[in-house]
Chain A
Amino acid sequence: QQQVKQSPQSLIVQKGGISIINCAYENTAFDYFPWYQQFPGKGPALLIAIRPDVSEKKEGRFTISFNKSAKQFSLHIMDSQPGDSATYFCAAKTSGTYKYIFGTGTRLKVLA
């Protein structure tokens, strides 16, 4: 019940296309859902995060869509660029606690 399932494992998108990465969870106590971006040789960096009181959050070309009833959330990267090529991790956490549950990661490659 503590797992966060992430898919796909890898993704190749043409420049200008939309990249979509999905995550699903079971624990309904989770109420904080961040996405991290990790470039090779670097630590993960917080990209965008959402709470279940909204169904969508947009920051520039990055959008999180959240479906509370389905217990799913996804990251959409609009107008994908080669510089977006990285590994993306979703995570989930219950506010007021310390432990993050991470997805297994998606390696995105955007072709020029």
Chain B
Amino acid sequence: GAGVSQSPSNKVTEKGKDVELRCDPISGHTALYWYRQRLGQGLEFLIYFQGNSAPDKSGLPSDRFSAERTGESVSTLTIQRTQQEDSAVYLCASKLTYAGDEQYFGPGTRLTVT
């Protein structure tokens, strides 16, 4: 079946603009994650959704970052007033249930802030 999809695949924006990144998880997956990956770095946890609630937002770097999820489907990560240090690949992952072990990643959105 279809995997996790993310859009856009690439986004170039000017400093100070807002951006919205989209994630479509695997159908039926209740758990959804957002991660940030800076160039050559590991995965930095941003936020976790169970259904449409976010019990763990501890990884969001600042109040410029927010995320929503509609039911058990699409999630959007919004970055307001982008800064150059926001440049990174933003990865979304989903898994079947809260207690499940296997998470599946999307291809990521490469964000470049000029």
Interface residues of A, Cβ cutoff 8 Å to B:
32, 34, 36, 41-46, 49, 89, 93, 95-100, 102-105, 107
The answer to whether A95 touches B99, judged by C-beta atoms less than 8 angstroms apart, is yes
A-B contact count (CB 8 A): 49
Interface residues of B, Cβ cutoff 8 Å to A:
4, 31, 33, 40-43, 45, 48, 50, 56, 91, 93, 98-99, 101-108
The answer to whether A98 touches B50, judged by C-beta atoms less than 8 angstroms apart, is yes
Main secondary structure of the interface of B (DSSP, over half): loop
Say whether, besides A42-B107, A43-B106, A44-B91, A102 and B43 are in contact (CB < 8 Å): yes
**Complex formed: what's the CA distance from A89 to B40 in Å?**
12
The answer to whether A46 touches B56, judged by C-beta atoms less than 8 angstroms apart, is no
The answer to whether B101 touches A99, judged by C-beta atoms less than 8 angstroms apart, is no
Say whether, besides A43-B4, A44-B91, A89 and B101 are in contact (CB < 8 Å): no
**Complex formed: what's the CA distance from A43 to B106 in Å?**
6
**Complex formed: what's the CA distance from A105 to B50 in Å?**
27
Residue of B nearest to A51 (CB): B101
